[in-house]
Each structure stands twice: as C-alpha cells, then as structure tokens.
C-alpha cells in the first residue's frame, strides 16, 4: 500500500476513529434499550438475550478472519465493505419487526463490524510515521476505550427521548461520514500476502471462540455448569482449541502465524490485554445497574454520572501518548493498573446512600487510569514485530481483549448473583415465620402490613448492595493479577526503517518508548 499524502493523514485518522466508534459504542448501547426492545418485539427475557448474544458470538468468530482478509484483499477494500455492511445492518436492526429479524440483523452487524477495530489500528500504524504513532494511537484509543463507556449514556438518552430504534439509526450518519472520509483519504492498496487460507485452522479457532463466547453469555441464565448446554459448550470449546493448537504446530501454512508468539513482549502483551479487557468493561456493565437498581436513577441520569469516566479517559489518552515517549512503558503501565485498582476499591465502598459526587470522583480516577494501562501495551506489542505482522497482531490483540471483556463481565455477573443470594439468606435468617417475638417487636407477621413488607424489601436491597461491594473488591484484586506480567516485559528496541541513519533509528526507538 502506498502511503497516504501528509495532508490527508488526519482525515484518515478521523475516519478510522469514527469507524472504531461505530463498532465499540454498539457493543454496549443496546444493553440499556433491551427492556424496551423486548416489549416491542414481544420476546421473553431469555429470547431477548439473543439480541446481544448473536452480536457477540458472530463478532468473535469473524474477528480472526479479519487479519487474513486484510492481507489478502487490501485493508482499504475490507474496511470500506465492513463499514458499509455494518451501517446497512444497523438500519435493518432499526426497522426490524420481529425477534427473528432482529437477531439475524445483529449477526450481520457482528460479522461486518469485527474487522473495524483491529484493521483501523493497523491502518494508522502503516500510514503515519513512527514518530507520530503516539498521537494517532491516542486518537484511535479514544474510540476503543470511550465507545463502550459512552454507549450506555447515549443508549439511555435515545431510548428515553426518542425510541430504542434510534440506538441503531444513530449509526447511519457516523457510518456514512467514516466511509466517505476513508474513500477520500486512504490510498488504494494491493494484496500484501498470498498465504493460502487454512480452512481447518479457521474452523477450529472459530468454533472454539464461538462456543466459549456462547458459554460465557448464556452461563448465568442457564445456571452455569449445572446445565448440560453449558457443559457441552465448554467441553467442545476446549477440544476445538486443542485441535487448533495441534493443527497450527503441524501445518505449513497455519491460520495464525505461530512465529508471533516467539516475540516475548507480544505474548506477554496478549496476557495483559486479557486482563485489561476484563477490568475495563466490567464496571461499565455493573455501575449502570447499581445506579438504577439501588439509587433509582433513570438510564439517562446513570449515563450522565458515568460520563466523567469517559471525559477523563479522553484527556488521559492524549497525556499517555506523551508519557510513553518520556517514561519506560512498564512504569506507565503499573501506574495505570494501580489507579484502576484503587478506583475499584473505592467502588467497593459504595452503598445505597452514596452521593453523586463520589461516583464522579471515582469515574475520574478510573478514567485516568485506563489509558495509562491501555496505551503503553499497544506500543510494547508492536515495537519489536516486523511490519508485515502488524495486521495479524492487531487482530489477535483485539480478539484477546474482547474475550477478556466477555469473561470478566460473565464472572462479575455470576459473582453478583451468587453473592446476593448468600447475603439475603444471612440477612433474612432471623426473620422466619416462627420468630414470633421478633415479628411482634416490629409490629406484625411477615407480609401482615406495609411496614413488614417494606422491611423485607429493604433487606433485599441491602443484600444486593453488599453483593456489589464484594464484586468490586474481587475486581480490584483481579486487576493486580496483571502486575507480574508487566514486570516480565522487556524494554522494546524498535527497528528503524531500511536505510535510516543511526541517529534517525535512535530517535524512532525513543519515540516507540
């Protein structure tokens, strides 16, 4: 691919950010509108869950394919088709009149949208010189990190003020702008690789990822491993990933280039991305429900309170782009992880009477910490890889981050449900029908009047509040699990471009730090 002209590079950067936002916002925007969609489409709770499940599972299956498609048919062509397909799928979701149509169109969104995040990142790395990678990665990172945070805010406002259908219609202007800007700013490219398509490897990996995502998404509603469905999905996912590994080690042209894993920093970066995905996305799911269930905020009000996290992330993203050029990535990573862990610990102190200002303060702390953890690992992962491996590496990083996010959310929700039941059992233990003296002291038997009914309702709220606190304590501790991986990272020594003078190569190496 011939490089873009300097004057069109920032238009290209804007196009890739819009395309990234297109996908990342949609990963969470529908969650808030789901109750309204369920009523409109006449679906049960379990049936409506497939609206989210279809998008997640198909996207996970299609993500590994994005790297091969980008190398085989050129990044420009694949991105343009992906943006167009995702935008059309969004409009079709907005006009859907049945659950079957909605699930089918959400699958279409997931299939076309899977390539947007990883390939947009690779485009920016290819089209901008190394000394500008910090700024453009910060700009791209805004789309990746802020999209899931702003999704509930935007979804809540659109649902309250207009209709749930506008959660999909809003993608039309964004998609059209991104497509037009990409047509103008991105130069035409050629196929960059001619590696044969490994059908077996793709099938094994797709089945493994798809079954694992299905297990995570349906585990809570199906009572996890008490369900034969969940056991089967977990078993066959493990079998498929084993067969994929064996096939990759014995094939001449494996679907995933196993030589990537010989790069120590890249392999460790994948592990850290797994952790980042879990502790970045989990609070985005837990906090809105906490604000609405326990404090009575509307979806719009809950979204506004969480907006502080997004605003702080935007400022910190650009600050971290500068920091990685001045400070060793490991130190910046440790500071970011520390801030996220502290914010989780602060969340563990929330109760049903916590004032709004404390949510804003915690959001600011977490918003500053997330980019400090996200940006350096992106630099470290790509710094020592050859340019030809960027596309595949970007896809793997995105895939691992998404899997980490799904796993983290599933575990957090499962812990919340289990902890709520245990807490309620302990709190209601004294209030049995046979505790006559206790009921007499509070004015009547169970359900005898509004006062006793209110007491039992309050016990349920307190049990849920304690469960949220337990969840955030676990997330705070889990966040620190990535620290040993950070300590194993080596200081990256970036390669200079062919023909570069020693001084130029040194400058590029410093910029990569």
Asked, for residue 444, whether it belongs to a domain, the answer is: no
Percentages of the chain per state (helix, strand, coil), in multiples of 5: 80, 0, 20
Nearest alpha carbon to residue 245 among 232, 258, 260, 263: 258
Residues 141 and 1 in one domain: yes
Residues 112 and 248 in one domain: no
Write down the pLDDT at residue 504. Answer: 34
Q: Which residue has the higher pLDDT, 320 or 226?
A: 226
d(CA 36, CA 42): 10
Write down the pLDDT at residue 503. Answer: 33
Write down the pLDDT at residue 498. Answer: 38
Residues 230 and 185 in one domain: no
Task: Report, as an integer, the average pLDDT of 262-275.
Answer: 85
Residues 214 and 153 in one domain: no
Boundary of a domain, candidates 254, 279, 302: 254
* Total domain count, the chain: 3
Residues 19 and 163 in one domain: yes
Task: Report, as an integer, the average pLDDT of 241-265.
Answer: 84
Write down the residue that tokens 């797994």 correspond to: 274
Write down the pLDDT at residue 194. Answer: 62
CATH code where residue 141 lies: 1.20.1250.20
Which stretch of 127-131, 146-150, 231-235, 425-429 has the lowest confidence by average pLDDT? 146-150
Boundary of a domain, candidates 150, 171, 196: 196
Q: How many beta carbons lie within 10 A of that of residue 327, not counting itself?
A: 16
Write down the residue that tokens 């610990």 correspond to: 345
Asked, for residue 458, whether it belongs to a domain, the answer is: no
Q: Which residue has the higher pLDDT, 365 or 280?
A: 365
Task: Report, as an integer, the average pLDDT of 273-290.
Answer: 78
180 pLDDT more than 70: yes
Write down the pLDDT at residue 91. Answer: 92
Measured CA angle at 122 (ends 121, 126), to 5 deg: 120
Alpha-carbon distance values, 320 to 313, 324, 373 (Å):
10, 6, 9
Q: How many beta carbons lie within 10 A of that of residue 77, not counting itself?
A: 16
End-to-end CA distance of the chain: 26
The answer to whether the beta carbons of residues 328 and 513 sit under 8 Å apart is yes
d(CA 274, CA 403): 7
* Burial status of residue 318 (CB atoms within 10 A of its CB: 0-12, 13-18, 19 or more): middle
Asked, for residue 456, whether it belongs to a domain, the answer is: no
Residues 121 and 264 in one domain: no
Task: Report, as an integer, the average pLDDT of 175-186.
Answer: 88
Boundary of a domain, candidates 239, 254, 269: 254
193, 196, 200, 205: CA torsion to nearest 10: 0
507 pLDDT more than 50: no
Alpha-carbon distance values, 395 to 15, 312, 399, 444 (Å):
19, 27, 6, 62
Alpha-carbon distance values, 450 to 446, 455, 456, 457 (Å):
10, 8, 10, 10
Token representation of residue 159: 């649902």
Residues 185 and 206 in one domain: no
Residues 25 and 136 in one domain: yes
Domain boundaries, position 344: 259-406+479-513
1 pLDDT more than 50: no
Residues 230 and 272 in one domain: no
183 pLDDT more than 80: yes
Residues 490 and 362 in one domain: yes
d(CA 501, CA 509): 12
Asked, for residue 240, whether it belongs to a domain, the answer is: yes
Asked, for residue 310, whether it belongs to a domain, the answer is: yes
Nearest alpha carbon to residue 165 among 109, 96, 108: 96
Asked, for residue 465, whether it belongs to a domain, the answer is: no
d(CA 114, CA 449): 55
Asked, for residue 221, whether it belongs to a domain, the answer is: yes
Q: How many beta carbons lie within 10 A of that of residue 101, not counting itself?
A: 14
Write down the pLDDT at residue 258. Answer: 79
pLDDT digits (tens, 9 = 90+) for 293-343: 788 887 677 777 777 777 787 777 777 767 766 777 788 888 888 888 898
Q: At what angle do helices 199-218 and 228-250 cross, to 10 degrees?
A: 150
Residues 110 and 56 in one domain: yes
The answer to whether the beta carbons of residues 176 and 91 sit under 8 Å apart is no
Residues 34 and 52 in one domain: yes
Alpha-carbon distance values, 120 to 61, 126, 149, 315, 346 (Å):
18, 10, 20, 21, 35
Task: Report, as an integer, the average pLDDT of 365-389.
Answer: 79
d(CA 361, CA 246): 49
Q: How confident is the model at residue 221 (pLDDT cuts 50, 70, 90)?
A: confident
Asked, for residue 457, whether it belongs to a domain, the answer is: no
508 pLDDT more than 60: no
Write down the pLDDT at residue 238. Answer: 92
């Amino acid at each position: 691919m011939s490089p873009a002209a300097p004057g069109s590079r920032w238009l290209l950067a804007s196009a890739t950010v819009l395309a990234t936002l297109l996908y990342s916002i949609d990963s969470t925007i529908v969650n808030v509108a789901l109750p309204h969609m369920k009523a409109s489409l006449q679906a049960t709770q379990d049936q409506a869950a497939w609206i989210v499940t279809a998008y997640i599972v198909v996207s996970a299956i299609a993500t590994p394919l994005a790297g091969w498609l980008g190398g085989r048919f050129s990044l420009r062509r694949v991105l343009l088709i992906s943006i167009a397909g995702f935008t059309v799928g969004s409009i079709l979701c907005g006009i859907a009149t049945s659950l079957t149509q909605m699930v089918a169109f959400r699958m279409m969104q997931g299939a076309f949208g899977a390539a947007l995040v990883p390939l947009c990142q690779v485009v920016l790395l290819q089209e901008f010189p190394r000394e500008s990678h910090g700024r453009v990665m910060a700009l791209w990172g805004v789309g990746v990190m802020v999209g899931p945070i702003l999704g509930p805010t935007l979804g809540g406002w659109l649902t309250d003020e207009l209709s749930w259908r506008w959660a999909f219609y809003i993608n039309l202007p964004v998609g059209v702008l991104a497509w037009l800007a990409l047509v103008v700013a991105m130069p035409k490219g050629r196929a960059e690789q001619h590696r044969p398509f490994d059908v077996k490897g793709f099938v094994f990996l797709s089945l493994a990822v798809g079954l694992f995502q299905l297990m995570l998404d349906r585990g809570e509603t199906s009572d996890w491993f008490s369900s034969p469905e969940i056991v089967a999905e977990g078993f066959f996912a493990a079998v498929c990933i084993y067969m994929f590994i064996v096939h990759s080690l014995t094939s001449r042209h494996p679907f995933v280039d196993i030589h990537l894993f010989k790069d120590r920093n890249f392999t460790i970066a994948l592990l850290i991305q797994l952790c980042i995905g879990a502790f970045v996305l989990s609070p985005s799911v837990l906090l809105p429900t906490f604000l609405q269930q326990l404090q009575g905020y509307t979806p719009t009000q809950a979204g506004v309170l969480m907006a502080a996290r997004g605003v702080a992330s935007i400022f910190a993203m650009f600050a971290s782009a500068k920091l990685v050029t001045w400070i060793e990535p490991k130190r910046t990573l440790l500071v970011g992880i520390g801030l996220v862990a502290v914010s989780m610990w602060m969340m563990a102190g929330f109760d049903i009477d916590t004032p709004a200002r404390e949510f804003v303060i915690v959001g600011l702390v977490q918003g500053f910490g997330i980019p400090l953890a996200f940006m350096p690992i992106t630099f470290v992962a790509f710094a020592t890889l050859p340019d030809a491996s960027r596309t595949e590496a970007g896809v793997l990083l995105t895939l691992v981050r998404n899997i980490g996010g799904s796993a983290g959310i599933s575990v957090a929700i499962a812990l919340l449900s289990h902890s709520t039941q245990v807490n309620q059992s302990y709190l209601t233990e004294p209030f049995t029908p046979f505790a006559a003296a206790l009921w007499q002291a509070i004015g009547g038997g169970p359900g005898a009047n509004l006062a006793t009914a209110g007491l039992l309702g309050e016990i349920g709220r307190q049990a849920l509040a304690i469960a949220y606190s337990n969840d955030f304590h676990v997330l705070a501790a889990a966040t620190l699990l990535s620290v040993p991986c950070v300590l194993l990272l080596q200081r990256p020594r970036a390669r200079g471009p062919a023909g570069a003078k020693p001084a130029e190569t040194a400058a590029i190496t410093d910029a990569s730090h």
